[in-house]
Structure 1
Amino acid sequence: MSTAVANDRAALARYVVERYAAGASLMRLAEDTGRSFGHVRRLLLDAGVTLRPRGGSRPRTT
């Protein structure tokens, strides 16, 4: 990710929305952008994204 995108909130929001829609996790997006989990989550929520349930694709144990 370029520094210009990381410093521009609107461009960062577009980037994380696109990557999240493609299947990237919040943790992965936080790592890739150098932002906190909470910051990435807030960008997605502010953009109107419905977040996936926690736990990813791991099988559930009962």
Structure 2
Amino acid sequence: MTPEVPAQRSADSGEDPATRTDPNRQVRGDERRELTEHVTAAYEKGQSIRDIASTIGRSYGFVHRLLAEAGVDFRTRGGARKGSRK
């Protein structure tokens, strides 16, 4: 028996339950390509990997792997630094 991902949508989250996937199922072929395009577009719009992973119901590592396979240039970690670096 495979667990189903709950199709819940909170009014303020803006998350579409149709974008969530079963975290235990392998994603292959056209479905993987479409998911990669969705994840890449979200990341390039400025969304974090953790936010994307939460939205689609997958792990950080899975989303990171999709982005790496797509050849995305990753942003640096953290925010802007205060002051100048020495």
TM range (shorter): 0.7 to 0.9
Output one character per residue of 1:5-34: Cα deviation in whole Å (capped at 9) or x when no partner.
Answer: 845211110000000000000000000010
Structure 2 partner of 1:12: 35
Number of residue pairs the alignment of both structures matches = 59
User: What is the rounded CA distance, in whole Å, between the counterparts of 1:60 and 1:26 in structure 2?
Assistant: 21
Q: Given the two structures, how large is their TM-score scaled by the length of structure 2? A: 0.59
Shift of 1:61: 6.1
User: What is the rounded CA distance, in whole Å, between the counterparts of 2:40 and 2:80 in structure 1?
Assistant: 25
Shift of 1:54: 1.2
Say which structure is richer in helix.
1
**Consecutive aligned runs of 4 or more in structure 1 exceeding 3 Å deviation:** 58-62
SS in structure 1 opposite 2:67?
Answer: helix
Structure 1 partner of 2:4: none
Percent identity reads: 39
Structure 2 partner of 1:28: 51
Could you say what the CA RMSD is over the residues aligned between the two structures, in angstroms?
2.0
Structure 2 partner of 1:60: 81
Shift of 1:60: 3.4
Q: Which runs of 5+ in 2 are unaligned?
A: 1-15, 22-26
Which of 1 and 2 has greater Rg?
2
User: What is the rounded CA distance, in whole Å, between the counterparts of 2:33 and 2:42 in structure 1?
Assistant: 14
Q: Which runs of 5+ in 1 are unaligned?
A: none
Q: Given the two structures, how large is their TM-score scaled by the length of structure 1? A: 0.79
